[in-house]
Each structure stands twice: as C-alpha cells, then as structure tokens.
Amino acid sequence: MAYGISGVRLAAFVAVLALGACQSGGGGGGSFSSLGGSPAGVPIALEVVDGPPPPVRSALADEMMNAASRRQVEIASSAAPARYRVRGYLSTETDAQGAPALAYVWDVFDTDKRRAKRVTGVKPIRTAGQDPWSGLDKDTLARLAAESMDEIAVFLSESKRVTAEAPAGSGATLAQ
C-alpha cells in the first residue's frame, strides 16, 4: 500500500523550508559540510515513503523536512514544478547476527521519471518488543533523515554545478 505525505504535512514542510531560508549559516554535518556549492535552486518534491506504519512515516516526514531546511534543499509545493522527485522505502530486517535493522532507499527521479540517484543504507535499531518499528525513536529518525538528506543535497549541488557548466543545448546530464 502506498502512503503519501498529506497536503497539510506538505504545506507545513514548505513553511518550515521558507522559515529556514531566513536563517543564516549552513547546518548539517557529514558529507554536506564539505559541499562545494548550495543545493538551493534545485527544487525537489518528496512524494511517498512506503513501508513504515503511519506514526513512523509521519515522524520521518517531519525529520526529512527539518533536514532539508538545514541543508537549503528546496521543497516544491504541489503546484510548483520540481526538478527532481524523491520517493522513499523503509523496511525492517535482521542483520547477520539476528539483530533488528532498518533498511532504507531514497530514489531521486528526474523530470523524465528516470532514476538519477539512489541513496541506500541499513541502520541497526534497538527494540524491546516484538515490533521492530518501535525501536525507531526521534533521534534514530533524525539521524536517518540527516544522513539521507546529506547525500541528496550533495547530489543536487553537483547536478546544479554540472547543469550550470554545460554549454547551452549540449544535453549534458549527471548520471548516478
């Protein structure tokens, strides 16, 4: 079953991003801190996060919005065009030792619906019960969103740079 980000949540996401644009300084860590350019001006649409139960999906959407704002990643409203569309997938699994883990995938699609970037990973999670989703607290989701958005922001910045450097009419694209 596919789950979309609700209109209210998307509107809140856009509002957070608008407020974040008023803040000075960068933010974020990891690979984003060494970013050679800003991803600003390369709008994306966060469309769907498949897999987690609704409370986890909602909390992750909030954390993705926060992470995008801190990294100057512009989120397009439903009425505005987006250069890329991001679709997420999460699942729980067990690692080689039988411990619970969270597997995630973020696919970034271009305007022609071709995948331009894939961000993947597996994170161990702590859980006290039978439900592995219960091990996803706010801090775990914030780290997942930050790391994911770091990679997306780097991709957007590289994409922006390649597009700016390409001669007009050359058809140059960034393949990942």
Question: What was the pLDDT predicted at 125?
Answer: 87
Q: How confident is the model at residue 96 (pLDDT cuts 50, 70, 90)?
A: confident
The answer to whether position 103 is within a domain reads: yes
> Residue 160's closest CA among 72, 39, 52?
39
Find the range with the poorest average confidence among 35-49, 84-98, 108-122, 134-148. 35-49
The answer to whether position 13 is within a domain reads: yes
Task: Give the C-alpha distances (Å, rounded to integers) separating 68 from 71, 76, 175.
Answer: 5, 12, 22
In tens, the pLDDT along 25-76 reads 333 344 444 445 567 778 899 887 899 999 999 999 999 999 999 998 998 8
15: domain CATH number is: 3.40.50.10610
- Pairwise pLDDT comparison (175 vs 105), residue with the higher score: 105
Expressed as residue numbers, the domain containing 98 is 7-24+38-162
Task: Give the C-alpha distances (Å, rounded to integers) separating 175 from 44, 115, 131, 149, 163.
Answer: 17, 9, 38, 18, 12
CB atoms near residue 36 (< 10 Å) = 8
Query: Helix, strand, or coil here: 115?
Result: strand
Per the structure, how many domains does the chain have?
1
The answer to whether position 151 is within a domain reads: yes
The answer to whether position 119 is within a domain reads: yes
